[in-house]
Structure 1
Amino acid sequence: MGTQGELGDFLRSRRARIQPGDVGYASGSGQRRVPGLRREELAHLAGVSVDYYVRLEQGRNRSVSDAVLGAVADALRLDGDERDHLFRLARPRKPGAGRAALAVPEAAGAGVRPEVRRLLDWITAPAVALGRRMDVLAWNRPACGLITDFAALPPRERNMCRLHLLDEDIGARYPDRDMIAREAVGNLRIAAGIHPDDPELRELVDELKEHSAEFRHHWARHTVRTKAHGIKLIDHPHLGFLRLRYEITHFPQDTELSLLVYTAAPGTPEEKALRELAEI
């Protein structure tokens, strides 16, 4: 997952999704050999020379300015997540940069600070602590009732992407498989942009690509997405069909640790189900 190849693939994927007619170029029936915008058209829209843009797309321009990256992002109509991803790919951090600041070990089966575990125990709703690869590093009892008994799993399998997309029993609980795959790809793409030399992340991506058609589809499209909150549909074997809200928050001093909590609106069947999980 080297950043040079990733940058070029990402830019080409975003050029391909823009119809020439949408930005004032004639489609030229039968004359286009690639979908979407040509390099020279994108360069013109961004206000840079064709040679400059080609070098950027090929990963040969490491001194690109904020203004140029912003202009390219605007020309490609990138959303906020995609724009951030472009900047990270264009300016990869050096290997090992920032590792000294990490407070959360990322090896398989690594734990978290005792204070984080106590926090999870105090939360009555299902909650898990996640690492950058969506590894489940810690959990509370309601989370085991809602998702799975994490303690019974080998450390390597305690990963939300693996569980949702590769475990048939757990995957069957989520009716919207496409959304699950989009979120998995979106999160892992961002992690790969920040940590392009992470071997465990590369292994996880390769495994998901091999065994999940949904994941392969969105990975090939370079889906980039972060979600801090939303709704997840779960067809639970004991609690029935649930429509749960979720919130994801980050720890300021543990920059690669996040907290995922499932909640329900007061007075709903989902609230009753979550309270049952808390009492088990």
Structure 2
Amino acid sequence: MRKLGLTVLFGALIGATPALAARCGGDFNTFVAAMSAEAQAAGVSPAVISQALGGVTQDPAVLAFDRRQRGTFNKTFEQYVSTRVGPGRINMGRQMLQRHAALLARIEKRFGVPPEIIVAIWGLESDYGKGDIGKMPVVRTLATMAHDCRRTELFQGELLAALKILQRGDLPLQDMVGAFAGEIGQTQFLPSSYIKYGVDFDGSGQVDLRRSIPDVLASTANLLHVSGFKNGASYSEGTPNFEAMREWNRATIYRKTIGYFADQLAGR
């Protein structure tokens, strides 16, 4: 019955103006139908839309988590870095630099980002792929956040990007799982960044940021490269490279932590 309702609503809304179709709040199924119409207008096939959005429901846990995150960076740099960069993570990072030295050298040559910066981000985001990269269904998470009126424009865009990842065939729906804001993979890319910066560096024909270490590390470097990161220059606070890392994370304390961690990995 839910799928039938989505189909009927989708037909009613397909001719609506995209900018006005998906209004936040109100009936969730009506909102999903409007997003379905926008997705088809953006080139996503009806089959992908039906597979991804048919029967989708809200997730109250996503909204509850989002509201708890507001104080995450309300710490001094010393307090924050002490919880994120310890001896174990540094030692493992140095092992990753050695284990993937040839791959990281190729990435540095192509994108101009030093290995220690890439590995620092990898370590912070997922403990080098060994930590929790999220188990939340990305489409459900993003639909929930997009329906919420606080940041609906941002998350409507991310929901459309997630559908485009499915359309491209980079990940099947069962692998579209991530964190509480819809981030995907070992360095936690939002779907729009996945589309914009993702690199198929292992030659598989798909961008796999969950399992392919070459894709993960090259895509991370590509994001920084496109954002203006210059190899050989300082990345300390106030520099152009520090500003380039803003595309990764706007929080000053987080970017300082990346730089500190990279220095530790490089023995500085």
State the structure with more CA Rg.
1
Normalised TM-score (structure 2): 0.32
Compare the two structures and name the one with the higher strand fraction.
Answer: 1
Compare the two structures and name the one with the higher helix fraction.
Answer: 2
